[in-house]
């Protein structure tokens, strides 16, 4: 894994009391298929791997001469920048399936992410799609930047609700990685958002 994933800071992608039952159920669904360690310490490889998540991606990055020490010390990852617990904004956890080149996000949208009344803001949806696909592209190709993100909003996401986000590899072309992403209801029956990204 890239360096940022091995940090020892607080891991924000573990279950907390703000998670609703759907969030917990899906977490368990994927977590139960992750690597397990038996009592004699033997590791059994799982199909999925949970990706820890911290509030800084590069805690000790210098950021170049233009970044002041104050900014460096206060910088926070956009999706993990709320001090209080309680599911106010982005609650999410990512699981990666290396073999099938798929990455899944389970996302519970808190009350601070309102756009249209009662529904999630399109920018927040774009943010979580960028997070899932950007992380997936990083795992597939090393350090990358989002060059293009194309989003079709198909049906609103209710505020407070949980959705399933899936990123899959379309193709690699030289140093470019192309991914597709679908945001659906947790049972997969309702399509909320579709996206493609170039990284
Ligand atoms: C994404 C992961 C971030 C990395 C994180 C690291 C570790 C992970 C740790 C924790 C994870 C935590 C968070 C991750 C979650 C979210 C991250 C959010 C990701 C972002 O939110 S990131 C910010 C938004 N992002 C930018 O701020 C990019 C600004 N931009 C640039 O930095 C340049 O623009 C760049 C680098 C994109 C290209 O620069 P360049 O110098 O390589 O460009 P060049 O012209 O050589 O193009 C080379 C080939 O790309 C094609 N190409 C270029 N631009 C294109 C476009 N827009 N659409 C389609 N194709 C395009 C050309 O057509 C050509 O194609 P060809 O080779 O076939 O001709």
Give this complex's ipTM: 0.90
Q: Ligand 1: distance of its center to the CA of 198 in Å?
A: 7
Pairwise CA distance, residues 184 & 164, whole Å = 5
Residue 177: C-alpha distances to residues 9, 22, 54 (Å):
29, 32, 24
Per-residue model confidence (pLDDT) at position 118: 98
Q: Whose CA is nearest to atom 20 of ligand 1?
A: 146
What are the structure tokens assigned to 128, written together? 């979580």
Dihedral sign from CA coordinates of 20, 86, 156, 168: negative
**Please, are residues 72 and 60 in contact by the beta-carbon 8 Å criterion?**
no
What are the structure tokens assigned to 76, written together? 């926070």
Per-residue model confidence (pLDDT) at position 36: 82
Q: Ligand 1: distance of its center to the CA of 143 in Å?
A: 10
Q: Is CATH 3.10.129.10 the classification given to domain 11-36+43-198? A: yes
Dihedral sign from CA coordinates of 79, 136, 189, 121: positive
Q: Ligand 1: distance of its center to the CA of 172 in Å?
A: 14
Segments of 45-175 assigned E as strands: 49-51, 90-97, 102-109, 148-153, 162-173
Q: Which atom of ligand 1 is nearest to the CA of 173?
A: 68
Q: Whose CA is nearest to atom 12 of ligand 1?
A: 57
Q: What are phi and psi of 71, to 5 degrees?
A: -60, -45
Per-residue model confidence (pLDDT) at position 65: 59
Q: Which of 130, 170, 187, 198 is catalytic?
A: 130
Burial 129-162 (b: 16+ CB within 10 A, else e): bbbbbbbbbbbbeeebeeeebebeeeebbebebb
Q: Ligand 1: distance of its center to the CA of 94 in Å?
A: 21
What are the structure tokens assigned to 37, written together? 């360690």
Pairwise CA distance, residues 156 & 158, whole Å = 6
The total number of residues shown for the chain amounts to: 199
Which of 125, 137, 164, 130 lies closest to 30 in space, CA to CA? 164
What is the β-pairing status of strands 191-198 and 148-153?
A: antiparallel
Q: Ligand 1: distance of its center to the CA of 144 in Å?
A: 6
Pairwise CA distance, residues 27 & 164, whole Å = 11
| Residue ranges lining ligand 1, Cβ < 6 Å | 2, 4, 57, 130-131, 134-135, 137-138, 143-148, 176, 198-199
What are the structure tokens assigned to 130, written together? 């960028």
Q: From 51, 147, 167, 171, give the residue whose CB has the most ligand 1 atoms within 8 Å, as the site to mutate.
A: 147
Task: Note down pLDDT in tens along the chain; length 199 residues.
Answer: 445 544 468 899 999 999 999 999 999 999 999 988 888 888 888 999 999 999 886 655 555 556 777 777 788 899 999 877 789 999 999 999 999 999 999 999 999 999 999 999 999 999 999 999 999 999 999 999 999 999 999 999 999 999 999 999 999 999 999 999 999 999 999 999 999 999 9
The answer to whether residue 40 is catalytic is no
């Amino acid at each position: 894994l890239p360096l940022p994933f091995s940090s020892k800071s607080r891991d924000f992608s573990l279950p907390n009391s703000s998670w609703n039952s759907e969030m917990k159920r899906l977490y368990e669904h994927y977590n139960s298929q992750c690597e397990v360690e038996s009592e004699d310490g033997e590791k059994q490889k799982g199909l999925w791997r949970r990706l820890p998540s911290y509030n800084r991606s590069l805690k000790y990055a210098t950021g170049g001469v233009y970044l002041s020490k104050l900014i460096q010390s206060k910088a926070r990852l956009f999706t993990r920048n709320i001090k209080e617990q309680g599911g106010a904004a982005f609650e999410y956890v990512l699981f990666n399936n290396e073999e099938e080149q798929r990455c899944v996000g389970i996302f519970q949208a808190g009350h601070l992410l309102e756009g249209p009344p009662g529904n999630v803001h399109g920018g927040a949806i774009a943010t979580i799609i960028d997070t899932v696909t950007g992380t997936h592209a990083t795992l597939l190709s090393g350090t990358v930047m989002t060059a293009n993100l194309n989003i079709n909003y198909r049906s609103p996401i209710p505020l407070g609700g949980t959705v399933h986000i899936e990123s899959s590899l379309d193709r690699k072309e030289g140093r470019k990685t192309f991914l597709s992403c679908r945001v659906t209801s947790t049972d997969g029956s309702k399509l909320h958002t579709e996206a493609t990204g170039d990284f």
